[in-house]
Each structure stands twice: as structure tokens, then as C-alpha cells.
Amino acid sequence: MSNQGRLRQRLTSQFAQQWASVRAERQQAEPIPIPTGPSNFAPAQVPWGVDLAAAWAWRFLVIAAAGYLVARVLGFFAVITLPLVIALLIAALASPIVRSLHRVGVPHRVAAAFVVVGGIAFVAAMLTFAGQQVAQGASDLADQVVQGLEEIRAWLQNGPLNASDSQINDVIRGTQDAITAGSRDGEALSQVTEVGTAVGHIVAGFFIILFATFFFLADGERIWAWTVRLAPRAAREHVDGSGRVAWVSLTQFVRATVIVAATDAIGIMIVAAVLGVPFVLAIGVLVFLGAFVPMVGATVAGIVAILVALVAQGPITALLMLAGVIAVQQLEGHVLQPFLMGRFVSLHPLGVIVAIGCGVLVGGIAGALIAVPLAAAGNAVVQHLAADTDVGEEEPDEALEEDIEEVDADAPPLPEGTPRD
């Protein structure tokens, strides 16, 4: 090897040794210190009241948005949800009968079928008798209507208005034109289509109510057990207890409503029978069904009774019929409603009015029909959950506890791992 090669090798070896020593020193050196400490971004200093209000506000917005979304979904499927709610109310009314039949040895499904068929037969018989009465007196009432219209026409001509035949005919012709304007504008086809759609919805709703009522009565416990299993295990006890309390409150509400409706119907039928007003049974059926629409149903049915009395017997009988309807309504509003709703449902009259108003705004007449039982069930659930969490509260209502124990005694055990009150 030449001298240049040896020199080059020696320099390379020295450079490698120096580079290795430098790397070793760097690895053993202390890391560069990094300054630490609390953040220099201080949280917003807001008053405690503002912080609390903000916490309540965003929670309220979330709850309101969720409630609105649920209401929109239920409203979109109203053709299904409304019959299911009606079937649930009917099942709440008929469940004690099914339980009584089951206690005497009748199988549960057979008892449910018997109650459903018997209910249909009872309603059909009631409507048949009322229809026969209307059919028998319809011709006489039509003649009386024509006679009454002629009397009104004579009063318009000879009374203080002194209206001529041409003026009366012009008013009648204008009314007829206003009624038939839609047909001339080509809207008759759309109206027929809407009527056909409504009839289809009614028929479908009837069958949904029929089958849903049977299954609620026959398999209600299994359906409820499946619903409870959807909740987390830690919450199933409260979900089950709240559902059973809501069911008892719903049952008591339906009982109170039936008692009030029957009282209204019987009272107005007695007044109509004493005054000799025709269609007594038909008026009673109309009042009974109308009473299930809170606050306004029985009043509208009473107005129909007053109109029938006006046409059939004249203004004096109509005034007496009006007095009888007012008396029955006062008995309901000041005696039955406060006693029954306060005893069975524990729902304040102001809560009833607010619930009806909200139901009308959301769902019209259908919303008013289900708003009060929904408010009653919600009130019972809130009181039940509050009683579970509060200490030193008064003892719960004994009648309500007895009804809950009665429901639990007839209920089969829930699946394993599903706690129940």
C-alpha cells in the first residue's frame, strides 16, 4: 500500500472515531428544558345565574327538538298511530273485564276475543236502534223543517225587515251559488277524491283498532315485556314501574270519562223525553260519543239536541231544551269532573284545559282526544319517579297502589334479567 493510501485510511479512521464520540456526547446530554405551567387562556368569567340559565336552556332546546321530531313522526303516520291510541284507550277500559273472566277460568285470548266481539255487538246494536228511530221519524221531521222554513219566510216578509220575494230569492240563489261554486270551478273531482281517501282511512283505522285492541288485551304483557327489554338494564326497573303506573292512570281516566259521558247522555235524554223531543235515543248516542271529546264534544251534541227541539216543537221547547243542556253541563263541570278527575286521575282542571289547547294546536280534534289521557299518564309517571327519588314524601295514593298490585298479580313474570317494581 502506498503512503497516500495509508494517510487516507488513517484520516478516515480518526474522523469516524471523532464522529462516534460526538454522537455519544449528544445522546448523554441533558434534554433542552421546555417551559410548562398553567394555561394563559382563563375561562370566561360569567355570573353563576347566567351559567345555570345556559345549562337549562340548551337542555330545554334538545328536549323540545326531540319532542317536536317525535310529534312530527307520529303526525306523519297518524293513519296508524291514532287508531293504535284509540285501541289502547279501549283496552284500558276493557282490561278489568278480561281479568275478571280470566280469574273464573276463561283463557286469556278467549276472554279478549269475547270482550272485543261483545263490544262490537253492543255498539252496533246501539247505532242500529238509533238509526231506526231516525229513519222512522225522518219524514215527519222533514215536513216540520219545510213548515219551519215557510214560517221563517213569512216572518221575513211580514216582520220588521219587510223583505220582498225577490230579495229573499236573491239571498237563496247567492247561497246556492256559493255552495256550488267549487263544482263549477272543476273542484268536484278533487273533493270526491278527498272523500274517498278519508273513507279509506276510516275503514283501515277501524280494522287497526279492532285487531290492536284484541292483541293489547290478549298479549299486552308480552308486548310490554318486549318494550321494557329495549331499555338499558339499569333503567328497566324504572321503565317498568313507570309504565305500569301510567297504565293504571290511563285505566282510571277512561273509567271516569265513560261515567261522565253516560251521565251527560242520560241527563239530556231525560230532558228530551220529558219535553217530547223526537230522536231521544239518537240524541243520547250522539251525546255519549261526543263526550269523549273533552270540553266541546258534549256541548256540540247538546246544540244538535236544541236544534232538533227547535224544528220539532218550536222555540219554547228549544229554550227549555237549552236550559236542560246547560243544567246537565253544569252538573258535569262542577260535580262530576272535579270529583272523578281529582279522585281517579289527580289532574288539575287547568292542566286539562292546557292539554286540550296543546292537543288542538298539534292534531286538531284527534289531538284533543288523546291530549288529556296523555297528560294524565305523564302526570302519574312524574309523580311515581319523584316518589322514588325524594325522601320524606307523603305516602302514595292507596287506591292507585291497590290497582297497581292488582295488575301485577295478574301479570306473568318478565324475562330473566328484567327487574320489575
The answer to whether the Cα torsion of 184, 186, 188, 191 is positive or negative is negative
| 168, 256: one domain | no
Domain range spanning residue 374?
237-403
Q: How many CB atoms lie within 10 A of CB 55?
A: 10
Phi then psi for residue 391, to 5 deg, are -115, 140
Phi then psi for residue 158, to 5 deg, are -100, -10
**Residue 420 in domain:** no
The answer to whether 322 and 314 have CB atoms below 8 angstroms apart is no
| 218, 138: one domain | yes
| 226, 333: one domain | no
The answer to whether 351 and 379 have CB atoms below 8 angstroms apart is yes
Angle at 65 between CA 229 and CA 295, to 5 degrees: 90
Q: What is the pLDDT at residue 57?
A: 94
**Residue 357 in domain:** yes
Phi then psi for residue 231, to 5 deg, are -80, 155
Of the candidates 321, 299, 325, 300, which has an alpha carbon nearest to the alpha carbon of residue 309?
321
Q: What is the pLDDT at residue 65?
A: 93
Q: What is the pLDDT at residue 286?
A: 82
Where do the H-state alpha helices sit in 159-235?
165-184, 188-229
Considering the entire predicted model, what is its pTM?
Answer: 0.65
| 245, 394: one domain | yes
The answer to whether 329 and 296 have CB atoms below 8 angstroms apart is no
Between the CA of residue 285 and those of 91, 136, 190, 264, 305, what are the distances in Å? 21, 17, 33, 10, 11
Identify the helix (H) or strand (E) that includes residue 316: helix 315-331
| 173, 263: one domain | no
Of the candidates 338, 299, 288, which has an alpha carbon nearest to the alpha carbon of residue 129?
288
| 72, 215: one domain | yes
| 171, 316: one domain | no
The answer to whether 225 and 60 have CB atoms below 8 angstroms apart is no
- For the chain, 421 residues long, the average pLDDT of each consecutive 10-residue run is 69 73 62 65 73 91 90 82 86 87 86 88 81 67 63 66 68 64 53 70 84 88 88 85 86 83 86 84 82 70 81 81 85 72 68 77 74 82 74 48 54 49 44
**Residue 40 in domain:** no
**Residue 121 in domain:** yes
How far, rounded to the nearest angstrom, does the alpha carbon of residue 222 sit from its chain's CA centroid? 23
Identify the helix (H) or strand (E) that includes residue 38: none
**Residue 32 in domain:** no
Q: What is the pLDDT at residue 78?
A: 80
Residue with cell 306523519: 76
Q: Per the structure, how many domains does the chain have?
A: 2
Q: What is the pLDDT at residue 391?
A: 43
**Residue 203 in domain:** yes
Q: What is the pLDDT at residue 353?
A: 76
**Residue 175 in domain:** yes
| 282, 225: one domain | no
